[in-house]
Amino acid sequence: MADDVAARAVLDLTCALIARRSLTPDDAGCCALLGERLARLGFTLEAIDAGGVTNLWATLGNGGPLLILAGHTDVVPPGPREAWFSDPFEPQIRDGVLYGRGAADMKSGLAAMVVAAERLLARRALRGTLAFLITSDEEGSARHGTRHVVEVLKARGLRPDYAIVGEATAAERLGDRITIGRRGSLGCNLRVLGKQGHVAYPDKAENPIHRLAPALAELTATVWDHGNAHFPPTSFQVSNLHAGTGANNVIPGHVDLIFNFRFCTESNAEDLKARVGAILDRHGLRYEADWWLSGEPFLTREAELVDAARASIADVTGIAAPLLFTGGGTSDARFLAPWGAQTVEIGPVNDSIHKINEHVRVDDLDRLSRIYEGVLERLL
């Protein structure tokens, strides 16, 4: 009976979170709900808000080790209501599957973490400190969420030992992957300058599209690195290309290009920027480059946290050797790992995240919570 109550607790809390329309960066009361649960356990709550973003830092215990459970309450827009089986902010269960925006990314992870803490603390006291870092700015700009909180806590001299992010990381079955690293993300808004003129008088103009083309061919053909045992080679991808006035007889004055590097630990942002600049300069381009770095790559070594995660997953799911994964996009782990924490991501199956009819299996909710509980048991 106690197990049934605990399993229902994860489902009920997940549904309560889904019902809050927390479109990024609006928290919509999710942190308040989670904070109430944590306060009842004795956690000290602190709001570290910034730029209109809600951030909750909650701690329980004293001394080390310090383990952080991290996640976000904000979700991406659901898309057209008529494409969903049901209202995306009214959680619905069909055939053992829970539907709703945030079901997998990542309100179920947050609910499972809170219930894991409740179950563990009902049995015994902690050794060390357990903390929750919850933000509403992961799906958006990610400037005022985890990034901001980490800088505030760094300034206090705080350094965590372990961090678990509840992102949806499983491929086909709960527990089949542990994310131990992520590639870095470096983007650029590039404007190549020319001289506008009439297409009939090209000698009196300078076509920036024509000037860009050879440089772009070299950029796309360049081997930036060869990757390593944990990461594929760094990739360069153009996502947007715009030029022209719309008229068919005007040579444009500039061409705008947006491109992105997903780079591994064999490269770094400054070197990539320098190499791009060298190519553009070699082709004699006049240009303006606006770079932004979303995060450096990170890799967590196989040590206490990975060992604890493997053991807990094996106990709960029977999967003895989950894949140690470094693919996918970025997450808030990119701010936690450089802080000095061994950092992993463990969460539900990710095949529906950001999609219409986002969902998670109901049976996976309690099992995910037990995975988190097992890691806490081993490390605290």
The catalytic residue positions are 74, 138
Checking DSSP bridges between strand 197-198 and strand 298-299, what pairing results, if any?
unpaired
CA distance 144 to 61: 27
What DSSP character marks residue 260?
A: E
Of 180, 272, 187, residue with least CA distance to 231? 180
Of 363, 335, 337, residue with least CA distance to 349? 363
What are the phi and psi torsion angles at 205 (to 5°)?
Answer: -135, 180
CA distance 112 to 96: 17
Checking DSSP bridges between strand 66-72 and strand 129-135, what pairing results, if any?
parallel
Of 358, 365, 345, 362, residue with least CA distance to 77? 358
Residues linked to residue 263 through DSSP beta bridges, in sequence order = 184
Tokens of 131: 């903390």
Tokens of 165: 């992010």
Q: How big is the chain, counted in residues?
A: 380
CA distance 272 to 186: 9
SS3 at position 259? strand
Tokens of 157: 């001299």
Tokens of 132: 């929750």
Residues linked to residue 71 through DSSP beta bridges, in sequence order = 134
Residues linked to residue 292 through DSSP beta bridges, in sequence order = 187
Alpha-helix runs per DSSP H in 20-176: 30-40, 108-123, 146-155
CB distance 368 to 301 below 8 Å? no
